[in-house]
Amino acid sequence: MDKYEIMSNTPRTKFVWTRFLHQKDIHFYFKEETLRLSSAKSYRDQVRPIGDWNEGRTKFVIPSLYASNKNQIGMENLKKLQKYTDVVKIEGAQENNLTIVMNNCSQSFYINYHVFCMSEGAPENTYPNLAKQMMDENQTPYDAALIVSDIYQLAAHIMQHGYSACDRNFICNIFDQCFVTPVRYDETESTWDDGPPIPPQPDLKNSYFAPQREWRVVFVSKRELSDTINIHIPGLRHFFTVKEISHLTSSL
């Protein structure tokens, strides 16, 4: 039993998780015993459905306002401006001789972290919708699946035994925090009529990605790291079982 304790923001759940991939990449898990952790920034730089430009990002929008003086804005809007301009740096807002011009100003908030992602449940519960989404985005659907019986033990094993394939530095020395969480699919953009800006979170994704039914092992570091980190993990192969999914792909 690994001694590294993994945090979770939800009660520990007992079911299987699935890592979808292409058959050509299976050897990384079983022969080389290597995982690739990707940063939030790297996902923002990729195209859908793998990439997500809102990964680790939320957006706060203030609508267009034109006024020759503050009184014309109205007291309610003025209070909102005074409140949120302390929170966000609003691009496009100018005040010159009491003239205020705002043209759909917005501010994005970012955080960074690294993740290893899986889908909740057996392949047949998730893959059809996921594959359809990939085909709609002109991506090649996955043709293989790895089953994980305990995501928490996998995360603990990574933190206790994993080390960087680049410099052999142990993962527990690279990352300050590791936790397991399901993803919440919700809005990542708000306006000042909705209230305060939505803070970006590692477990928040746009509802477009809901078919993925994603769970994550999240790794957080206070240092600036490369966008992708390859980790060698002795014993990694024992956490995965390969499952054939050709019958799922042929029915699409």
- Asked if 94 and 136 sit in the same domain, the reply is no
- Asked if 133 and 244 sit in the same domain, the reply is yes
- Asked if 136 and 236 sit in the same domain, the reply is yes
- Structural domain for 143, as ranges: 7-56+112-249
- Asked if 89 and 16 sit in the same domain, the reply is no
**What pLDDT, on a 0 to 100 scale, did the predictor assign at position 233?**
97
Task: Look at residue 2 and tell me if it is in a domain.
Answer: no
- Asked if 118 and 169 sit in the same domain, the reply is yes
Task: Look at residue 46 and tell me if it is in a domain.
Answer: yes
Task: Look at residue 183 and tell me if it is in a domain.
Answer: yes
Q: Which residue has the higher pLDDT, 138 or 35?
A: 35
pLDDT in tens, 84-134: 766 655 555 555 444 555 666 788 899 999 999 999 998 888 888 888 777
- Asked if 18 and 84 sit in the same domain, the reply is no
Q: Give CA–CA dist 216/120, Å, rounded.
A: 10
Q: Give the number of residues written for the chain.
A: 252
**Range of 45-59, 88-102, 182-196 with top mean pLDDT:** 182-196
Task: Look at residue 186 and tell me if it is in a domain.
Answer: yes
Task: Look at residue 224 and tell me if it is in a domain.
Answer: yes
Task: Look at residue 1 and tell me if it is in a domain.
Answer: no
Task: Look at residue 40 and tell me if it is in a domain.
Answer: yes
pLDDT in tens, 208-239: 889 889 999 999 998 899 999 999 999 999 99
- Asked if 162 and 224 sit in the same domain, the reply is yes
- Asked if 50 and 126 sit in the same domain, the reply is yes
| pLDDT grade for 2, boundaries at 50, 70 and 90 | very low
**What pLDDT, on a 0 to 100 scale, did the predictor assign at position 135?**
72
- Asked if 69 and 150 sit in the same domain, the reply is no
Region 173-191: what's the mean pLDDT? 93
Closest CA to 56 of 214, 164, 205: 205
For the chain, the domain total comes to 2
Task: Look at residue 77 and tell me if it is in a domain.
Answer: yes
The DSSP bridge partners found for residue 60 are 107, 190
Closest CA to 155 of 205, 108, 110, 114: 114
Q: Give CA–CA dist 198/80, Å, rounded.
A: 16
CB neighbour list of residue 211: distance below 8 Å, 6 or more residues apart: 126, 129, 130, 132, 133
- Asked if 68 and 156 sit in the same domain, the reply is no
- Asked if 176 and 226 sit in the same domain, the reply is yes
